[in-house]
Amino acid sequence: MKANLPPTHCGNTMFRWGEKTYVMGVVNLSPDSFSGDGLGGDVGAAMAQARRMVAEGADIIDVGGESTRPGTEPRSIEDIDEELRLVVPVIERMASEISVPISIDTYKATVACRALEAGAAMINDIWGLKKDPSLARLAADRGVPIILMANERDAPPKAGILARVTADLQTGIKIALEAGMPPENIIIDPGIGFGKSLEQNLELINRLSELKALGKPIMLGTSRKSMIGLVLKLPPEQRLEGNLAATAIGIANGADMVRVHDVRPTVLVCRMSDAIIRRGSVDD
């Protein structure tokens, strides 16, 4: 299964979509992270985690300084001081010490700008340009890729989740292209867990291949999400097996990148899934 998508250049890496599933390791700096792994302002701990993830096979590290815990109100676009305090020192260290590109997980252009100056090479916008469309111009001017996520927390849909997510992503893609973003620098994310019910999340993963019609690489983020907890009745730290199952099915349905907290087991699942789905080669 090879996608006819142009490659995306990110920092010192070329993402060649269709050749393999890329793994994004998560470094959460917000102390109230939903997954229980928030590191606060501990730069040393963040660096140790990033180094371990790279050694385990992560292709990119995603750094975030604001919690996306369900029920948490997003901060205003102007409320950036705490986020900058958390992310900028970590990104500066990572950019000089790790070998893979760094993504900044933010929906605020001011934070993204400082993160790019510190060494980040990708923007991961969980609001898909809904909160701050100027992120698109920033990404275009800096020549960095952007991930646009479908976020329904403002108005959770009761039905037609695939149509809603598709329309949401189309809107973000249109804003990005009009701002001058090269088409190959746009990645999409269906936004598992963001304003969707359990059944809607399961449907999105099951029908992920239908988002290929948008002509963009797909990132899937299910790691430790409440969807897994609801199915398996387990807390975030015990949801690894559930996420590995979702990852394998996501790859079979077209995921090009997966965003995870547990890198090593995910890399192995991706490698095996790719060998089957993408007809990659493995040693006997």
Q: Which of 130, 131, 225, 239 is catalytic?
A: 225
Q: Could you give the CA distance from residue 256 to residue 23 in angstroms, rounded to a whole number?
A: 9
**Pairing between β-strand 122-125 and β-strand 102-105 as defined by DSSP bridges:** parallel
Give me the phi and psi of 218, to 5 degrees please: -115, 125
> Helices marked H in the chain — which ranges?
43-56, 81-97, 109-118, 134-142, 161-178, 198-206, 226-232, 240-252, 263-277
Active site residue 137: no
How many other CB atoms are there within 10 angstroms of residue 167's CB atom?
A: 12
Q: Which of 108, 130, 239, 259 is catalytic?
A: 259
Pair of tokens at residue 146: 């952007």
The number of C-alpha atoms within 13 Å of 30 and in the hemisphere containing its C-beta is 22
Q: Could you give the CA distance from residue 172 to residue 128 in angstroms, rounded to a whole number?
A: 6
Phi-psi category of residue 147: left, alpha or beta, with phi > 0 → left and psi -120 to 50 → alpha: beta
Active site residue 225: yes
Enumerate the active-site residues: 225, 259
